[in-house]
């Protein structure tokens, strides 16, 4: 006798919850051991200008363990928080037609839906557009896996690009009494930003046994298969993309010192030391970075950096002997650096000469991601027999929409 789906969902969530609590307990124990070892290392450095090699190795080993345990907690938090697919209303006709195409390659039912829904498939040679429920599922799992999407603005569009007028200078304003004359104000300085959508693709493979399994959820399978590929490609583009057939990354704009910052450029604060933090006051540069954006951007500010940079910052302590990095206090919440959330983006560069390895600011106001409606899937049972390939594409664009919102820390003298 089969187990009811609701019971399976409940049991799975209970397992996830128990495993998550265990992972959090392991993390707390590792972090306590890390602090003890690093405190001893700092004491030895103060006493004899260098730490024991074995102690350095222990701190690094615990630091690596913290990285691994953090990723485990993030994965379990996502799994335990995922909504159940059966709770959302679906178009039964479209769902059945889509399932028939994915499992057998028969697209006739999808063709008959043309004109009934904007998400009905149309071009057999180029694949079929997935139903709205399938597209929403892919978007949801992608949002959970793509860290850049969690902190940025996301807009859905129906055209090949999104054009957004931005006020770079701002209109003049002032105060006046009820009967006072209102002097003519100057017009705002407008800039037209263009965010074209490039094609992002993946090609997951399935066995015919999986496709013949009537119990298997092919939509969930497809979403899970393209999730990590799409998320990795997107994050790279949002960070370093050149804007040609892909989003333009935050590191691809012209960078200038914050003192000479102007609209269209990304501002930075220098550490004052080439390829490193200042030896005597390493935290000062981070504080300068926090105060580089205007107050309205600091309220929702985030730090972004890769795990190697974060591993270095975990060892720093402030003037009151407190660690400037603190783990998350609740499941699903990010760790903090000097009180602000930290988001790990692996595509951020390692610390090197003149590198822009740390970013801070309000990414939701600063960076815009555009998703063009429509995920297209082409079923290919011929190219990799006995496997069936599913060439899956979606169109994504992105770029900086407010050049005042995000600032960099440059590891250089100026």
Distance CA 338, CA 319 (A): 12
For the chain, the distance separating the N- and C-terminal CA atoms, rounded to the nearest angstrom, is 71
Give residues with Cβ within 8 angstroms of 17, minimum separation 6: 80
In terms of Cα–Cα distance, which of 225, 224, 251 is closest to 238?
251
Prior bond to 386 cis, omega within 30?
A: yes
**pLDDT at res. 406:** 98
* Helix (H) or strand (E) run with residue 19 in it: helix 5-48
Segment holding 142, helix H or strand E: helix 132-145
**Which of 239, 222, 249 lies closest to 375, judged by CA?**
222
Q: What local confidence, expressed as pLDDT, does residue 153 receive?
A: 95
Please calculate the CA angle 33-332-4 and round it to the nearest 5 degrees.
Answer: 115
Q: What's residue 76's pLDDT?
A: 66
- Per the rule left: phi > 0, alpha: psi between -120 and 50, beta: everything else, 198 is beta
Per residue in 161-220, pLDDT (tens digit) is 999 888 766 556 677 777 777 776 666 677 889 999 999 999 999 998 989 887 788 888
Give the model's pLDDT for residue 113. Answer: 64
pLDDT for residue 196: 95
Per-residue burial over 344-367, b if 16 or more Cβ lie within 10 Å, else e, is bbebbbebeeebbbbbbbbbbbbb
Buried b (16+ CB within 10 A) or exposed e, 70-104: bebbbbbbebbeeeebeeeebbeebeebbbebbbe
Pair of tokens at residue 227: 């999730």
List the pLDDT tens digit at each of the 414 positions of the chain. Answer: 444 444 444 444 444 567 767 777 777 778 788 878 787 877 777 776 666 777 777 778 878 887 777 777 766 665 555 444 334 445 577 778 888 889 988 888 777 765 444 344 445 456 888 888 888 889 888 888 888 999 999 999 988 899 988 876 655 667 777 777 777 666 667 788 999 999 999 999 999 898 988 778 888 899 999 998 999 999 999 999 999 999 999 999 999 999 999 999 999 999 999 999 999 899 999 999 999 999 999 999 999 999 999 999 999 999 889 999 998 877 667 899 999 999 999 999 999 999 999 999 999 999 999 999 889 999 999 999 999 999 999 999 999 999 999 999 999 999
What span, in angstroms and rounded, lies between the C-alpha atoms of 55 and 43? 11
Question: Using N-to-C axis directions, what is the helix angle for 132-145 and 92-104, rounded to 10°?
Answer: 70
Question: To which H or E segment does residue 285 belong?
Answer: helix 282-290
CB contact at 8 A, 293 and 364: no
């Amino acid at each position: 006798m089969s187990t009811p789906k609701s019971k399976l969902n409940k049991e799975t969530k209970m397992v996830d919850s128990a495993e998550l609590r265990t992972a959090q307990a392991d993390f707390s124990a590792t972090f306590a051991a890390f602090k003890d070892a690093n405190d001893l290392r700092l004491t030895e450095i103060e006493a004899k200008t260098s730490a024991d090699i074995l102690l350095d190795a222990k701190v690094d080993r615990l630091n690596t363990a913290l990285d691994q345990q953090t990723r485990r907690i993030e994965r379990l938090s996502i799994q335990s928080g995922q909504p159940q697919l059966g709770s959302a209303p679906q178009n039964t006709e479209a769902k059945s037609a889509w399932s028939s195409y994915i499992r057998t390659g028969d697209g006739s039912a999808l063709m008959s839906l043309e004109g009934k829904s904007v998400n009905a498939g149309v071009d057999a040679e180029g694949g079929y557009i997935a139903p709205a429920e399938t597209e929403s599922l892919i978007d949801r799992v992608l949002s959970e896996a793509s860290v850049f999407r969690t902190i940025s603005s996301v807009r859905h569009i129906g055209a090949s690009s999104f054009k957004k007028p931005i006020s770079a200078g701002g209109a003049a304003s002032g105060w006046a009494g009820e009967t006072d004359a209102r002097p003519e104000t100057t017009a705002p300085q407008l800039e037209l930003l263009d965010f074209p959508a490039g094609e992002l693709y993946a090609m997951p493979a399935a066995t015919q046994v999986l496709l013949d399994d009537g119990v298997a959820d092919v939509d969930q399978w497809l979403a899970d298969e393209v999730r990590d590929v799409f998320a990795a490609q997107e994050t790279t583009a949002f960070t370093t993309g050149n804007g040609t057939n892909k989003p333009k990354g935050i590191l691809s704009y012209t960078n200038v010192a914050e003192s000479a910052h102007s609209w269209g450029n990304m501002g930075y604060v220098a550490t004052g030391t080439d390829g490193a933090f200042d030896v005597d006051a390493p935290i000062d540069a981070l504080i300068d970075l926090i105060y580089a954006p205007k107050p309205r951007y600091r309220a929702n500010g985030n730090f972004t950096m890769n795990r190697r940079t974060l591993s270095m910052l975990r060892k720093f302590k402030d003037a009151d002997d407190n660690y400037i990095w603190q783990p998350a206090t609740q499941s699903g919440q990010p760790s903090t650096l000097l009180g602000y959330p930290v988001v790990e983006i692996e595509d951020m560069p390692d610390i090197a000469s003149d590198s822009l390895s740390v970013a801070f600011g309000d990414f939701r106001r600063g960076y815009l991601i555009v998703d063009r409606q429509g995920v297209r899937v082409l079923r290919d049972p011929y190219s990799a027999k006995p496997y069936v390939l599913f060439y899956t594409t979606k169109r994504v664009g992105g770029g900086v929409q407010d050049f005042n919102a995000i600032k960099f820390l440059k590891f250089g003298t100026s």
